[in-house]
Amino acid sequence: MLVFAVALALALLLTPRAAEPRRVSGVASAQPTTAIATATPAPRPAPEPAALPDGVPVTETGAGTWHVVPGPGADIGTGEKVLTYTIEVEDGVDVPAFAADVDTILADPRGWTGLGAVTFRRLSESADTADVRISLTSPGTARRPDLCGFTIPFESSCRLVRDHRIVVNLARWLRGAHSYDGDLTGYRAYAINHEMGHALGLGHVGCPAGGAPAPVMMQQTFGLSNTYLANLNRAEPGAASKVRPDGAVCRPNPWVTAPQ
């Protein structure tokens, strides 16, 4: 019996304890995770300064005919020189606020009337009797060779001497220019003042000095850099010499009486 008892005790001592439930003590700790590499998107290239910004849909081509928008005939300004104008919209183009916006821009004392030399008088009848016809025009029509053309391959407005017409490009009116960085109100004021400057007999000029406000007769639709504009204008004979490629870059400015 003694031998049996000793053998039983040894057996109990040597039996594995795997059958007993295992208790885990302590606090669980977070395990390190493997970082997942994500691809860094490539930076978008800077837009071409003269390119049309993205924005609202634009009627590509209207009817190629215009109708005069009736409006007030009150004089704007106090200058001795009186310039009559009509506001026209191409048939097939719908921008109800265009006429009122143009009148507001012309009446602003920071514009041409602020110099005290000119008075604008709007006509509501036939465009044939007006000194200036301000015509909102679809981009497809504006690009016609008998209008603004497309020698410089970017949307633009223009002044036509032969029929006293300012062609205001609808695409620019609705989307502006990169030089104005989303300031559509400022760009519209610039576009009207710039083209009316042509009607008053003025030509294009460059940026006078780096960081200065751009003259209203600078081609701000296309950019604010003299060098960029000089190179762009090489597409038009004689135009490149109007701006020196001297590296000067101006600030956008829509008004004739430029801020300092």
pLDDT tens for residues 209-258?
999 999 999 999 999 999 999 999 887 765 555 788 999 999 999 999 86
pTM of the model: 0.82
Q: How far is Cα 135 from Cα 184, in angstroms, rounded to an integer?
A: 18
Q: How far is Cα 10 from Cα 129, in angstroms, rounded to an integer?
A: 126
The domains of the chain, with CATH numbers, are: 66-242 (3.40.390.10)
pLDDT for res 72 = 85
Choice between 34 and 207, residue whose per-residue pLDDT is larger: 207
Query: pLDDT category, 37, cuts 50, 70, 90?
Result: low
Query: pLDDT category, 3, cuts 50, 70, 90?
Result: very low
Choice between 47 and 20, residue whose per-residue pLDDT is larger: 47
pLDDT for res 46 = 75
pLDDT for res 26 = 42
Rg (CA), the chain: 36
Q: Give the 3-state DSSP-derived string for the chain, with helices as H, strands as E and coil as C.
A: CHHHHHHHHHHHHHCCCCCCCCCCCCCCCCCCCCCCCCCCCCCCCCCCCCCCCCCCCCCCCCCCCEEECCCCCCEECCCCEEEEEEEEEECCCCCCCHHHHHHHHHHCCCCHHHHCCEEEEECCCCHHHCCEEEEEECHHHHCCCCCCCCCCCCCCCEEECCCCEEEEEHHHHHHCCHHHCCCHHHHHHHHHHHHHHHHCCCCCCCCCCCCCECCCCCCCCCCCEHHHHHHHHHHCCCCHHHCCCCCCECECCCCCCCCC
Choice between 127 and 183, residue whose per-residue pLDDT is larger: 183
Q: List phi, psi (to 5°) of 167.
A: -90, 110
* Angstrom distances, CA of residue 168 to CA of 73, 75, 102, 200, 213: 21, 22, 11, 16, 23
- Provide the residue type at 116 as one letter: G
Cα 44 to the center of its chain, rounded Å:
17
256 contacts 110 by C-beta, under 8 angstroms: yes
172 contacts 179 by C-beta, under 8 angstroms: no
